[in-house]
Structure 1
């Protein structure tokens, strides 16, 4: 009998995990499921204990993990304290692009394998980024709200206020992983020239996509639209800042649907007010939700959404399927596909799996 905790939420529900695992494993394996429902996204995620972007309380998670060998989750806070109270835990499968809500060092020290689900929301996030670009470039959101307020903005058809097209534009993508590569494919279908900056990208693969891999200053100087798709790390925090934002052509469009910490928002209100920055479209913030007095609420030409890029039903379904497949591999004595701490698997091997 293998005890499995499905720590879901109101996006990827526990039942979605459980059904996917049962389908992946089959009826021949004896499984005992328990469930826990976290309040995300009805309550914002945040820092819990030693981990970020997490939901729920540590005591409730520890209680739910009693006797559990395998846990599957999106947002549960696997903080350092959790591993001190869960000696039977052997696998945490996180249905996100990275297991940021797991204290990886503590999991590794405790001999717990941590798997994750790269690419689970790539299509959703890529489509959303394109939507943000178009909304900012063609004043879709601004003109909608103004028209509903009784304003017919005929001046948006004047040459100086007219929008921009993607066809013929140069668009710079910062980050060229699963999401960035899909965004580039759509942009090239529109007729855009695509530049990319990603120190980890395979240059030959990027070139084969018809995309030019460049250094960040070159990308900023040449791009009329810049879209962020990098992971947030200590090295990428405020990757775009007051100094290098000045490299952008006047009137450029900036899109951030990746992580708020990649972008220094402080200089943007002034850049928008002066026209130095043509428009800003953002789905992510340094503080979520941002405080009511946040200056960008009052800046011109800003499109904002409340961290929705990955919010599709297909993303939730895909997340459950990816993690279920990894749990099936583990139960069959195989290595999960994406493991954040492979050294644990290397030590445990098949004997650690079952």
Structure 2
């Protein structure tokens, strides 16, 4: 009997996790018996934060310590898998984090204890790409601003003036900073709009790009694009990538959209670029601090379109996260190396017994 703790929340729910997990286990060659127990987390109704040594987690460490004592597997999106939780769970062999990066899991401590950690990369790629394109369209056509005029009882025919008009994607050049799973989908959608697509990504070779998508340097992308959309990971090398110097390279009257990570952009420099008219507008799903502080200057700008870091928030993302997480657990139970593994096993045995010190 394998004991599995499902620590779902109000997005990737326990009923979704249980349904997908039981179905995945039933499809294995010799389905093992499993015992499921659940812990319901309050996110997103209660914001996540730092818990002990991990980030972006629900503050349920005490509850997790109690429920994980004899668990072999934990499946979660937001539960804090900390050193304290690991110390209280000597039978634990696998943690499946149903998100792209297991920031709520102390991966180093898991590795030291022989606990495998898996994530679910690509779970929200479709949702995030669609949201990015939506944000681009809303930004270049100023949809929230013009909606507000109609909602206020105004009929602003003056918005038809040339200087008030936005751009068509057809014929525009859109530069994508980052060409991973999300960036690739965005590129395909933009091509359907007949946009010219440029890409900069140090990990991509020209041969990987489809016809009509060009690989260029960051400088060329910034100077050549009508719209720049960010899809890069936040690393020491990309932090502050779009700073005052980068913004100065962008075309006058161009647009910047960031649905990747807030730390990629110098927002003070961006505000200056908007205020002096160098940029026509900007769209954001991510911010330097979340939520933004009241009175943050960009909140007052009518040239900015903002959404509260929900690019990945679709029902399909939740279903996909549960499906990918279930596949990882089922593979491990079947004696296979689970997909999405982020820490290597200590030896070549992928599914050693609990008492031989390896996992």
TM-score of the two chains, using structure 1 as the length reference? 0.95
1:95 to 75, 86, 98: 98
Unaligned runs of 5+ in 1: none
Which of structure 1's runs of 4+ aligned residues deviate more than 6 A?
A: none
Compared CA separation, residues 79 and 209, structure 1 to 2 (3 A): farther
2:230 to 213, 216, 228: 228
Residue of structure 2 equivalent to 1:318: 320
* Shift of residue 313, structure 1, vs aligned partner: 0.5
Residue of structure 1 equivalent to 2:88: 85
In 2: Cα distance, 1:242 partner to 1:80 partner: 41
Q: Does 1:150 find its partner at 2:147?
A: no
2:274 to 272, 275, 286: 272
Compared CA separation, residues 239 and 314, structure 1 to 2 (3 A): same
Deviates more, 1:274-283 or 1:194-203: 194-203
1:63 to 50, 61, 66: 66
Q: Does 1:291 find its partner at 2:290?
A: no
Q: Is the 8 A contact 2:49 2:59 kept in 1?
A: no
Residue of structure 1 equivalent to 2:21: 21
Q: Is the 8 A contact 1:273 1:300 kept in 2?
A: no
Residue of structure 2 equivalent to 1:106: 109
Q: Is the 8 A contact 1:174 1:229 kept in 2?
A: yes
Q: Is the 8 A contact 2:169 2:194 kept in 1?
A: yes
Q: Does 1:181 find its partner at 2:184?
A: yes
* Shift of residue 234, structure 1, vs aligned partner: 2.5
Q: Is the 8 A contact 2:116 2:343 kept in 1?
A: yes
In 2: Cα distance, 1:97 partner to 1:212 partner: 27
* Shift of residue 209, structure 1, vs aligned partner: 4.9
2:258 to 224, 242, 256: 256
Q: Is the 8 A contact 1:107 1:114 kept in 2?
A: yes
Computed over aligned residues only, the root mean square deviation of the Cα atoms, in angstroms, reads 1.6
Residue of structure 2 equivalent to 1:119: 122
* Shift of residue 11, structure 1, vs aligned partner: 0.3
1:335 to 334, 337, 340: 337
Q: Does 1:240 find its partner at 2:249?
A: no
* Shift of residue 186, structure 1, vs aligned partner: 0.4
* Shift of residue 169, structure 1, vs aligned partner: 0.8
Residue of structure 2 equivalent to 1:10: 10
Compared CA separation, residues 352 and 119, structure 1 to 2 (3 A): farther
In 2: Cα distance, 1:123 partner to 1:148 partner: 31
* Shift of residue 244, structure 1, vs aligned partner: 1.4
Residue of structure 2 equivalent to 1:44: 47
State the secondary structure of the residue aligned to 2:272: helix
1:300-311 equivalence runs, <5 A: 300-311=302-313
TM-score of the two chains, using structure 2 as the length reference? 0.94
In 1: Cα distance, 2:179 partner to 2:102 partner: 20
Deviates more, 1:41-50 or 1:186-195: 41-50
Question: How many residues were matched structurally?
Answer: 352
